[in-house]
Amino acid sequence: MIESQLHMWLVFGFIAVAMYAFASEKIELEISSISVISGLLLLFYFYPLLDQQGNSLLTSRDILVGLADPALITVLSLLVVGQGIVRTGALEKPIRMLVTLRRHHPVLAIAVVLGSVLVISAFMNNTPVVVIFIPLMTALAERLHRSTSTLMIPLSYASILGGMTTLIGSSTNLLVSAAAVQAGQPAIKFFDFSIPGLVLASVGLLYILTVIPKILPDREAVKDGTTSLSGKQFIVQMEISPDSPLVGEKAIAGQFPSLRNITIRFIQRDEKHLLPPFDDMALRPGDSVVFAGTRKSLTDAFSDNPQILQDFLEIDERSNIEIPELQNVRDQTIAEVIVAPASRMIGRALHQINFHYRTDCVVLGIQRRSRMIRTSRMTDIRLESGDVLLLLGKRPDMMRLRNNPDVLLLEWSTRELPALALSLRARLIFGAVVLAAASGLVPIVIAAVAGATAMVASGCLNIFQASRSIDRRIFLLIWAALGLGTAMQATGGASFIAQQVISLFDGAGPAVILSMFFLLVAIFTNVLSNSATAVLFTPVAISIATNLEVDPMIFIFAVIFAANCSFATPMGYQTNLLVMGPGHYKFLDYFKAGGPLVILLWIVFSIFAPLYYGLV
């Protein structure tokens, strides 16, 4: 018994060190996680935990089994599925419908957008949802003449609230379910905790819409050209080929529908310069269209009509090199490069440098930071040091520009073009995954793995894109947390904590203990991480419920809701970190906005849960 207690306290020591390492970020999360696993393996190999017959109660296999845990595999697979949705722009059209709403009802649009984020996050991993909606929230902020700092934290919080309503809404939920199954409890079904989850999410959304905008600072964006995509305009020249989708397209109110949010400077037709307005004018083969647009507007136009890019891929008459036809938009990447100070390109026009011949990348546009370029045609512009070129090419070709002395690659600007032509395919795969998991047709891990496989097999993602979507930090953190949870269960640590909690509230009813337990987990999830907290406290929840002789699932669901209350710190959840830059937040901003939300959800849970589960 004494030996078992020593093992338990050693495991508690591991947990304390892991919590400090995960929260402080002084050590890389990957190193901290793998060190925890290594330490547990060494501890229980040289100082094994034995039963009365001398058999080991915690083997290396038990510690490492989390690597093949269905919850971990499900989380990683859903990340791939979510990346397929992002990569194909499957949510682009619904988002644009919301954008049109902001023109007439901008305040209502914020409520609709945040409500949409909440609903989508119930069926899709939170992280890609937030990535998709950050540009939309930025546009709404501009429309309302407000700082983005008033909208980015609400975006993150709405995604977290949506994640606590279904089993696949958050990795936290899946990990709790896995830990519960390991402890001998039945698997949690898709909608088992949706009703209390919706109550908490609804109250939280109301708080986000009414209170948080008054708490958050109206902080002006920091101008930093190295960390965000440029909003300045590129000069672009496009020759209309005979098979271009733009042939025959008429201007409406001075703009061509396929080139929305783009300023047409002029159209050169034969020897004539046609100037705006272009009402009722139709584009013809051979027209040379010179226009100005931001990086975002150009990307949107190319994503909507990928065939337009073919107009840039023509025969270089001077080098007699034919640029191959664009077959797969999903293989194309857009990036920005700066003309280096000593570049051989300085003083020469584009047609003189054979850029594509030397780099396999095509110049789409030119931007001069010091002033707006007023010259007639892009091909007539003589390059200067500091000019920014917008390039189109395959990712390997872009990466080779790192070693090109004539240009400086802005690696943060490298983005793959959304393959909108595959968006329907991605939506069908995603819908099939959700339907299969929600209906119980197959276990969620099978649905997720099959969905991830389908995303790659159907061409929505290639192998590189799929592997890049798997965050090794999440993978190793979950693995370490599962190992610690297994060790805590085997050494009796979970039972010990449960007994301490019960003794601390000796004489109190199950409802009070449930409330205090929720608050304890909610505090830990903001200091440690939601994944680690979920795994570590699930065995404790089962032990407390067993001692109180109540249904363990009630306390297991409390872990799910409390572990998702990661609102008070930026490291509490990864979506909080995602919006920290765009919103220009400080650590204290999260505490001021998220601290009251944690308390509010604790109060609502403490009132609703005992009534709903019959503990009073």
| Tokens standing for residue 135 | 């540009």
The reply to whether 342 and 452 lie within a common domain is no
Write the pLDDT tens digit of every residue in 166-188: 998 888 898 899 888 888 888 88
Q: Is the pLDDT of residue 260 over 60?
A: yes
Q: What is the pLDDT of residue 142?
A: 67
Write the pLDDT tens digit of every residue in 408-457: 888 666 777 777 778 888 889 988 988 888 787 888 889 889 999 999 99
The reply to whether 283 and 356 lie within a common domain is yes
Q: Which residues contact 28 (CB under 8 A, 6 or more apart)?
A: none
Q: Of 9-13, 59-63, 195-199, which one has max mean pLDDT?
A: 195-199
Q: Is the pLDDT of residue 391 over 80?
A: yes
* Residue numbers of the domain that contains 372: 233-420
User: 92, 423 in Cβ contact below 8 A?
Assistant: yes
Can you say whether the dihedral through the CA atoms of 534, 540, 545, 548 is positive or negative? negative
Q: Coil, strand or helix: which one is 227?
A: coil
Q: What is the pLDDT of residue 133?
A: 78
The reply to whether 186 and 262 lie within a common domain is no
| Tokens standing for residue 131 | 């990535």
Kindly compute the dihedral angle of the four CA atoms of residues 536, 443, 30, 158, in this order, to the nearest 10 degrees.
Answer: -80
| Through-space distance between the first and last CA atoms of the chain, rounded to whole angstroms | 37
Q: What is the pLDDT of residue 613?
A: 92
Beta bridge partners of 349: 382
The reply to whether 370 and 446 lie within a common domain is no
Write the pLDDT tens digit of every residue in 217-228: 776 544 433 334
The reply to whether 433 and 415 lie within a common domain is no
Interatomic CA distance for residues 546 and 541, integer angstroms:
9
The reply to whether 304 and 206 lie within a common domain is no
Write the pLDDT tens digit of every residue in 279-304: 778 888 888 888 888 877 777 777 66
Answer yes or no: is 162 within a domain.
yes
Q: What is the pLDDT of residue 413?
A: 65
Write the pLDDT tens digit of every residue in 38-89: 999 999 888 888 877 778 888 898 888 878 777 778 878 887 887 888 778 7
The reply to whether 267 and 311 lie within a common domain is yes
Answer yes or no: is 539 within a domain.
no
The reply to whether 201 and 277 lie within a common domain is no
Considering its fold, how many domains does the chain have in total?
Answer: 2
Interatomic CA distance for residues 81 and 64, integer angstroms:
26
Of 410, 437, 468, at which residue does a domain stop? 468
Q: Is the pLDDT of residue 118 over 90?
A: yes
In Å, how far are 103, 218, 478, 526, 539 from 75, measured between CA atoms? 38, 36, 10, 21, 20
Q: Which residues contact 371 (CB under 8 A, 6 or more apart)?
A: none
Interatomic CA distance for residues 314 and 299, integer angstroms:
20
The reply to whether 320 and 388 lie within a common domain is yes
Answer yes or no: is 379 within a domain.
yes
Q: Is the pLDDT of residue 508 over 50?
A: yes
Q: What is the pLDDT of residue 30?
A: 82
Q: Is the pLDDT of residue 375 over 60?
A: no
Percentage above 90 pLDDT, the chain: 17
Q: What is the pLDDT of residue 304?
A: 67
Pairing of β 388-394 and β 332-339: antiparallel
Answer yes or no: is 61 within a domain.
no
The reply to whether 370 and 276 lie within a common domain is yes
Chain mean pLDDT for the chain: 80
Residue type, 255: Q
Q: Which residues contact 345 (CB under 8 A, 6 or more apart)?
A: 339, 353, 355, 383, 406, 407
Answer yes or no: is 570 within a domain.
no
Of the listed ranges 9-13, 129-133, 454-458, the least confidently predicted one is 129-133
Provide the pLDDT confidence category of residue 101 given band limits of 50, 70 and 90.
low
Answer yes or no: is 516 within a domain.
no
Sheet containing 362-367: give its strands across: 272-274, 263-269, 288-294, 233-239, 362-367, 388-394, 332-339, 407-416
Q: Is the pLDDT of residue 158 over 70?
A: yes
Answer yes or no: is 327 within a domain.
yes
Q: Select the more confidently predicted residue: 382 or 310.
A: 382
Provide the pLDDT confidence category of residue 325 given band limits of 50, 70 and 90.
very low
Q: Is the pLDDT of residue 3 over 70?
A: no
